[in-house]
Chains A and B, each alone.
Chain A
């Protein structure tokens, strides 16, 4: 992480027209990728849960959504900060932006669903929603793209025209963010498991108290 910070702020040269604000790019892009990755993990884990009925996969899906929403929020916050000086607006209804926003809403809804559903059905229902939500992403993207055809694809074309040090910085930032992502995901899963274990132990203690 420290190395990534170093490369972002010192090693990578300033972008000519955009200046310092371009540095946000090194945070924005890896986060976006990881948010999509997290939701993909949820999708796969949800299918595995319905197939195997192992609560392990439910935990993975849940934790991946939480982590993904955090990264998606980072994307949605850093994006406008960059866009204000560059595009001169905080927000445009570009397909990519709109899809990411819809994605964010979908997975916040997932978390709300988990919160309100009764325990005996929670895993099943949220797995179904995790699958539906992910399948919906490409359709949303295409329909929005058709809806706003005039907008050029600003973000992906810029990726190719980067100088060497910038590429290296992006790569390092990427690796650092991946590392961060998996650390958060793993510790979140561990937390959830120990929570379950504590509940089990509490139940055992309760039973023992009744026996006394």
Chain B
């Protein structure tokens, strides 16, 4: 088999198992919905629509609920005992990684679309005119943090303290991508000129590329036992 059919097969497997249980997306959506509400309680009536601040809230919702989904992508395989099968497949570790990443990325994106919708209602934010740049930033940012999350999910799935370890490993490394995404979302939501976003866009793209490269080079060692 060529590279793409193999890749497609693994993604399809994840997709079908998700379609049957609907665990991951449902949990992520509920969790991000709750985060949006908790922030509303935390700030109370003092919360006004201030782009810099609501961009932060939005990304906290994305990243936290994304993390709950990412943690499951490899630990699920271990729990069901299918991990060995996946590793024994005649595909390169990089294919497995990429397939897992694409799966997680798609599920997270579904969650994010729903979150943005709820967010624009609850926080009274006008999202519609900025939809295209916002989508671009969201895609790049999500790619960045799901790439790290997928590597670390594979690492932490081998341990006992999975979820705790995943968040401890994940957050220090994801600082640049979170800062860049929050900042550029804030700039977009405030309706300033898009040229201000470029320095952040560069960081996002650079980060995505570097982390895809690093995972390409190192993922084989993670699956080794």
Chain B neighbourhood of A144, CB < 8 A: 175-176, 179
Chain B neighbourhood of A142, CB < 8 A: 176, 203
A132 touches B173 (CB 8 A): yes
Interface: B214 (CB within 8 A):
yes
Complex interface: stretch among A17-25, A122-130, A160-168, A200-208? A122-130
Residues 102-134 of A at the B interface (beta carbon under 8 Å): 102, 105-106, 108-109, 112-113, 116-118, 120-121, 124-125, 127-129, 131-133
Tell me if A's interface is mostly helix, strand, loop or mixed: helix
Q: Give A102 to B173 CA distance when docked, in angstroms.
A: 8
Interface residues of A (CB under 8 A from B): 50, 102, 105-106, 108-109, 112-113, 116-118, 120-121, 124-125, 127-129, 131-133, 135-136, 139-140, 142-144, 146-147
B176 touches A140 (CB 8 A): yes
Q: Give the Cβ gap from A103 to chain B, nearest Cβ, in Å.
A: 8
A128 touches B176 (CB 8 A): no
Given the known inter-chain contacts A113-B169, A140-B176, please indicate yes or no for A131 contacting B218, CB distance below 8 A.
Answer: yes
Chain A neighbourhood of B179, CB < 8 A: 143-144, 147
Please give me the residue from chain A that is nearest to B155 by CB atom.
A125
Chain B neighbourhood of A135, CB < 8 A: 210, 214
Please give me the residue from chain A that is nearest to B218 by CB atom.
A128
A112 touches B155 (CB 8 A): no
Given the known inter-chain contacts A113-B169, A135-B214, please indicate yes or no for A140 contacting B175, CB distance below 8 A.
Answer: yes
Residues 178-225 of B at the A interface (beta carbon under 8 Å): 179-180, 183, 199-200, 203, 206-207, 210-211, 214, 218, 221-222, 224-225
Complex interface: stretch among B9-17, B117-125, B157-165? B157-165
Please give me the residue from chain A that is nearest to B174 by CB atom.
A136
Chain A neighbourhood of B221, CB < 8 A: 50, 124-125, 127-128
A139 touches B210 (CB 8 A): yes
Please give me the residue from chain B that is nearest to A133 by CB atom.
B173
Q: Contact flags (1/0) for B130-160 with A, using CB distance below 8 Å?
A: 0000000000000000001001000100111
Q: Give the Cβ gap from A77 to chain B, nearest Cβ, in Å.
A: 19
Q: Give the Cβ gap from B149 to chain A, nearest Cβ, in Å.
A: 12
Question: Among the listed B160, B214, B224, which residue makes an inter-chain contact with A116, where contact means beta carbons less than 8 Å apart?
Answer: B160
Q: Give A133 to B172 CA distance when docked, in angstroms.
A: 9
Chain B neighbourhood of A117, CB < 8 A: 155, 158-159
A143 touches B222 (CB 8 A): no
A143 touches B175 (CB 8 A): yes
B159 touches A146 (CB 8 A): no
Please give me the residue from chain B that is nearest to A106 by CB atom.
B172
Number of chain B interface residues as a range: 20 to 34
Q: Give the Cβ gap from A196 to chain B, nearest Cβ, in Å.
A: 20
Given the known inter-chain contacts A132-B218, A139-B210, please indicate yes or no for A102 contacting B159, CB distance below 8 A.
Answer: no
Chain A neighbourhood of B214, CB < 8 A: 131-132, 135
Chain B neighbourhood of A106, CB < 8 A: 172-173
Question: Among the listed A120, A128, A140, which residue makes an inter-chain contact with B222, where contact means beta carbons less than 8 Å apart?
Answer: A128
Chain A neighbourhood of B180, CB < 8 A: 143
Q: Give A127 to B214 CA distance when docked, in angstroms.
A: 12
Chain A neighbourhood of B171, CB < 8 A: 105
A50 touches B218 (CB 8 A): yes
B155 touches A113 (CB 8 A): yes
B207 touches A113 (CB 8 A): no
Q: List 17 additional contacts besides A116-B165, A118-B158, A146-B203; criterion CB under 8 Å.
A: A102-B172, A116-B161, A118-B159, A121-B224, A121-B225, A124-B222, A128-B155, A128-B222, A132-B151, A132-B173, A132-B211, A135-B214, A136-B175, A139-B206, A142-B203, A144-B176, A146-B199
Please give me the residue from chain B that is nearest to A108 by CB atom.
B168
Please give me the residue from chain A that is nearest to B211 by CB atom.
A132
Q: Give A118 to B225 CA distance when docked, in angstroms.
A: 10
Chain A neighbourhood of B203, CB < 8 A: 139, 142-143, 146
Q: Give A115 to B148 CA distance when docked, in angstroms.
A: 21
Q: Would you mind naming 25 contact pairs between A and B with Cβ atoms under 8 Å apart?
A: A102-B172, A102-B175, A105-B172, A108-B168, A113-B155, A113-B159, A116-B159, A116-B165, A118-B158, A121-B158, A124-B221, A125-B155, A128-B155, A129-B155, A131-B218, A132-B148, A132-B218, A136-B175, A136-B176, A139-B176, A142-B176, A143-B176, A144-B176, A146-B200, A147-B183
